[in-house]
Amino acid sequence: MKKILLILTLAIILIVPTLVSAQATECTLRATLPQNIIDGVGCPDTCITVGQVCSFDVSQSAVCCMFGTIIYISNLLFLFLMLLVVIFVILGAFMIITSAGSDEKVKSGRNCIVYAIVGFIAALLSHYLPNLVASFMGL
Q: By residue range, what is the domain housing residue 125? A: 2-136
Point out the least confidently predicted range of 68-72, 86-90, 97-101. Answer: 68-72
CA angle 56, 61, 62 (to 5 degrees): 75
* Whether pLDDT at 87 is above 90: yes
Which of 79, 89, 78 lies closest to 114 in space, CA to CA? Answer: 89
Question: Which residue blocks in the chain are alpha helix, DSSP H?
Answer: 2-20, 35-37, 59-97, 103-136
Residue pLDDT, tens place only, 25-69: 777 777 877 777 777 777 777 777 777 777 766 666 777 777 788
Q: What is the pLDDT of residue 17?
A: 64
Q: What is the pLDDT of residue 88?
A: 93
Alpha carbon 118 to chain centroid, angstroms: 17
Domain count, the chain: 1
Which of 50, 36, 62 lies closest to 132 in space, CA to CA? Answer: 36
More confident residue, 58 or 123: 123
Encode 108-125: b = buried (16+ Cβ within 10 Å), e = exposed: ebeebbeebeebbeebee
Q: What is the pLDDT of residue 139?
A: 62
Residue pLDDT, tens place only, 16-25: 666 555 566 7
> Which pTM value belongs to this model?
0.65
94 pLDDT band, cuts 50/70/90, is: very high
DSSP state of 29: -
